Amino acid sequence: MTAPLHETSAGEATATVDGAPDAPGTPDKSGSGGKAIEGRSPWKIAWTRLKRDKLALAGAFVVIFLILVAIFAPVIVGLLGHPPDEFHEDQIDPLFGTPIGSWGGINGDFLLGVEPVNGRDVFSRIVYGARISLLVAFLAAVFAVFLGTILGIIAGYFGGWIDAALSRVMDVMLAFPQLLFTIALVSVLPNELLGLDGSGVRIAALVLVIGFFGWPYVGRIVRGQTLSLRNREYVEAAQSLGAGRFYILRRELLPNLIAPITVYATLMIPTNILTEAALSFLGAGVKPPTASWGQMLSTAITTYESDPLFMVIPGLAIFITVLAFNLFGDGVRDALDPKGSR
Amino acid sequence: MEPLLKVTGLQKHFPIRKGLLQRQTGAVKAVDGLDFEVYPGETLGVVGESGCGKSTMGRLITRLLEPTGGKIEFQGTDISHLGVAGMRPLRRDVQMIFQDPYGSLNPRHTVGSIVSAPFKLQGVEPEGGVKKEVQRLLGLVGLNPEHYNRYPHEFSGGQRQRIGIARALALKPKLVVADEPVSALDVSIQAQVVNLLDDLQDELGLTYVFIAHDLSVVRHVSDRIAVMYLGKIVELADRKSLYESPMHPYTKALMSAVPVPDPRRRGAKSERILLQGDVPSPIAPPPGCRFHTRCWKATDLCRTQEPPLLELRPGQRVACHHPENAEGVTVPEARQSVDVTITKKPEPAEPEATEPEPEAEATADAKAEAEVKKDDAPGE
């Protein structure tokens, strides 16, 4: 890509940014010497900034860890736990229905104890629950971002009655009682649909509902950004070169929208995790015996006096996941801050 | 000589819409009837205060905006209402340099992709490949061709403006519309960029329409100069006549506001004209001569009858009933129109009592300069 430049690299690099007050503050990078002149893209700058943000990095590590756990759930459970649906009545005190032993039955065999009454392995269920939480949250975010970006960019770029109509639709969506709608919808869902089994239908429904109610948030942000971007002079410059509308949308506007969209998508995932947990808690989530964190919380309500740890563990799982995603998302937002990256 | 660009009766009214049904309740008459032509190889300077329609005019002749009325002919072809596709082949010949070097380059594209965009969009394969041509262009505007892969944020304002110039020149255009190309730059950088534009004109045989509010910059680059006021051209003349004997009172007022950089010569410039009041709103421009509300020579005639743009001296067109420096020049149509229009009721809108004020240098200078040199960015 780049033509090699021999002796000037470091000196040139500093010479060209002279007087540019917004020259980003990583001089150690530009002076790497002897290499070809390669511009640092806004993404690279954001990455160097993100790397300096310790909290965001911690969040990112937890997020990556959770994703790996979700992906390799069968392997992890195979090594360290028992199948999530297996009953272990031998771990249960037959008189009270509570786990034998202190701390909810935690021992070397059952790392996070067992469920009261039927004695399923809590560790396995937490690990499998991560799958549901993350899958639903990710897919819903992708769906919301997809819809929101397309409709937002159309509203912002074309304006006029299209904008007015789409904006009103967004307002209506935002005012819609999402939780009640979902509970009502799930109760009428069939057990099988389009080749999906009961859990599959529920997961698909959760993704669609959460994503569908999430897009107006993305749509509003994208619309606002598009409104401000479409009047930039570089858009006019492209027009004066004969660019059509599609070229301008794709080549001039979209690259500038990716940063805010990324930020919003990362911050949307924890919200989706919470929504999924809430819906599962209310019985509108995945069907038992498939494990999910919200559903475990809901089961724990009946026994929290005798076995409080069974409620604490899924709660902690939700808390840590949401916190990690939020820290990471905040870091991404700071790194992509438009004021610093222009 | 055939004009490269011919503009007749050009108008652009931006509608003002109100209420639920978006009914049009009025219009901003940004450009309201322009007539001029641009000849090959010349530089036409366009000056005027903030909001007088200079930039709108530039965007009309590059057809970034669709005119409300009038006609734009480029090399004899009527381009006033061509669509995106119809304009595309002509875009090669008409290019634009923008005011804001920070806003005119997409921060997400490398310099290479910015300067090669014209080739991509026009489907042109330059000799020796796009990359080589882009590097040649970067060299031409005084940038290091090796900076091909850098991003705009890595350059200073002047360098960015050079990138914008390279982009505008990529397709070897015939006409370049420069919309305040240096007003966002440092004064020291302004000279460099202006000189670069000058050199490129000689080298490539370019024709410029140079929009600016800085009279000294315009004087430096222009062959002919159009002075705009409230969407109209009030005077169009060659540089020498305009600067030495301006005929329109507005031009005269503008000229008197040009600061004299030499303190010893300050006294020599005796008469400073301080315009009173503000520029009237282009939503409801005053009737008759648009300048009459601020003109010290205004008469009843000016309040009722709009003066046409007439060639009062060879090469000097003026729209005024009572031109300055008009010894031996008669204004025939104006005289005739007196009888016709004098019976009409004079407009109640009171012009402020504005007489030429030879005032103490310091304050007058500062005020007049502030009036004229105010930064403007209409439509942004």
Query: For chain A, how long is the longest CA-to-CA vector?
Result: 83
Distances (CA, A) of B170 to A78, A236, B161: 64, 16, 14
Instruction: Check whether residue B59 and residue B111 sit in a common domain.
Output: no
Point out the least confidently predicted range of A110-124, A210-224, B66-80: A110-124
Instruction: Check whether residue B158 and residue B197 sit in a common domain.
Output: no
Q: Give the domain range for residue B117.
A: 107-169
Contact A16/B147, CB-based, under 8 Å? yes
Q: Is B151 on the interface with A (CB under 8 A)?
A: yes
Total-model pTM: 0.73
| CA closest to A228 among chain B residues | B380
Average pLDDT (A215-237) is 88
| CA closest to A4 among chain B residues | B146
The partner residue sitting opposite B155, judged by closest CB among A16, A38, A41, is A16
Residue A126 confidence (pLDDT): 86
Residue B78 lies in a domain: yes
B271-294: pLDDT as tens digits: 677 777 778 888 888 888 888 888
Q: Is the pLDDT of residue B357 over 50?
A: no
Q: Which of B92, B94, B99, B10 is nearest to B57 (CA)?
A: B10
For testing contact with chain A, the best of B94, B115, B146 (most A CBs within 10 A): B146
Residue B43 confidence (pLDDT): 92
Q: Which residues of B touch A243 (CB under 8 A)?
A: 117, 121
Question: What are the residue boundaries of the structural domains of chain A, listed by start?
Answer: 56-341
A227-254: pLDDT as tens digits: 888 888 888 888 888 888 888 888 888 8
Q: Is B94 on the interface with A (CB under 8 A)?
A: yes
Q: Is A247 on the interface with B (CB under 8 A)?
A: yes
> What's the CATH code, domain A56-341?
1.10.3720.10
A44-61: pLDDT as tens digits: 777 888 888 888 888 889
The partner residue sitting opposite A237, judged by closest CB among B84, B144, B167, is B167
Average pLDDT (B73-100) is 87
Residue A330 confidence (pLDDT): 84
Instruction: Check whether residue B319 and residue B350 sit in a common domain.
Output: yes
Tokens of A223: 């619309």
Residue A111 confidence (pLDDT): 66
B114-141: pLDDT as tens digits: 998 889 888 888 888 888 889 889 988 8
Alpha-carbon torsion (B125, B130, B136, B137), positive or negative: positive
Instruction: Check whether residue B208 and residue B327 sit in a common domain.
Output: no
When pLDDT is cut at 50, 70 and 90, the band that residue A96 belongs to is low
A162: distance to nearest CA of chain B, Å? 14
Are the beta carbons of B226 and B47 closer than 8 angstroms? yes
B40-61: pLDDT as tens digits: 989 999 998 888 888 899 999 9
The partner residue sitting opposite A243, judged by closest CB among B108, B121, B144, is B121
Interface of A with B in 249-308 (CB under 8 A): 252, 255-256
Contact B147/A256, CB-based, under 8 Å? no
Q: Which residues of B touch A24 (CB under 8 A)?
A: 153
Identify the bridge partners of residue B237 per DSSP, sorted by sequence position: B225, B316
- The H or E element containing residue B29 is strand B23-38
Q: Is A17 on the interface with B (CB under 8 A)?
A: yes
Tokens of A25: 């503050």
Residue B236 lies in a domain: no
Distances (CA, A) of A163 to A142, A158, A222, A284, B128: 23, 7, 12, 34, 45
A18: distance to nearest CA of chain B, Å? 7
Average pLDDT (A173-180) is 85
Instruction: Check whether residue B145 and residue B74 sit in a common domain.
Output: no
Last residue of a domain, one of B169, B189, B211: B169
Taking the C-alpha atoms of residue B229 and residue B218, their distance in angstroms, rounded to an integer, is: 16
Number of domains in chain B: 3
Are the beta carbons of B162 and B193 closer than 8 angstroms? yes
Chain centroid, CA A118 distance in Å: 33
Instruction: Check whether residue B366 and residue B274 sit in a common domain.
Output: yes
Residue B120 lies in a domain: yes
Instruction: Check whether residue B265 and residue B357 sit in a common domain.
Output: yes
Contact B146/A241, CB-based, under 8 Å? no
**Complex ipTM, two decimals?**
0.74
Instruction: Check whether residue B296 and residue B347 sit in a common domain.
Output: yes
Contact A252/B64, CB-based, under 8 Å? no
Instruction: Check whether residue B197 and residue B112 sit in a common domain.
Output: no
A16: distance to nearest CA of chain B, Å? 6
Point out the least confidently predicted range of A305-319, B252-266, B323-337: B323-337
When pLDDT is cut at 50, 70 and 90, the band that residue B359 belongs to is very low
Average pLDDT (B249-274) is 74
Neighbour-count burial for B268-299, b at 16+ CB within 10 Å, e otherwise: eeeebbbbeeebbebeebbbbbbbbbbbbbbb
Instruction: Check whether residue B59 and residue B151 sit in a common domain.
Output: no
A166-174 long-range CB contacts below 8 Å, 24 or more apart?
Answer: A166/A219, A166/A223, A167/A223, A169/A216, A170/A216, A170/A219, A170/A220, A171/A216, A173/A212, A173/A213, A173/A215, A173/A216, A174/A216, A174/A217
A286-319: pLDDT as tens digits: 877 778 888 888 888 887 777 778 888 888 888 9
To the nearest 10°, the Cα dihedral for B191, B192, B193, B194? 40
Residue B236 confidence (pLDDT): 92
Rg (CA), chain B: 22
Last residue of a domain, one of B121, B138, B169: B169
Residue B49 lies in a domain: yes
Average pLDDT (B311-336) is 73
Residue B5 lies in a domain: yes
Taking the C-alpha atoms of residue B177 and residue B184, their distance in angstroms, rounded to an integer, is: 16
Instruction: Check whether residue B82 and residue B221 sit in a common domain.
Output: yes
The partner residue sitting opposite B121, judged by closest CB among A12, A242, A341, is A242
Average pLDDT (A82-96) is 70
- B76 φψ region: left (φ > 0), alpha (ψ -120 to 50), beta (else): left
The phi, psi pair for A214, rounded to 5°, reads -95, -20
B1-54: pLDDT as tens digits: 788 999 999 989 988 887 777 777 888 888 888 899 899 989 999 998 888 888
DSSP single-letter state for residue B58: H
When pLDDT is cut at 50, 70 and 90, the band that residue A34 belongs to is very low
B69-78: pLDDT as tens digits: 889 998 888 8
Q: Is the pLDDT of residue B334 over 60?
A: no
Instruction: Check whether residue B179 and residue B163 sit in a common domain.
Output: no
Average pLDDT (A185-206) is 74
Taking the C-alpha atoms of residue A44 and residue B204, their distance in angstroms, rounded to an integer, is: 38
Share of chain B above pLDDT 70, in %: 82
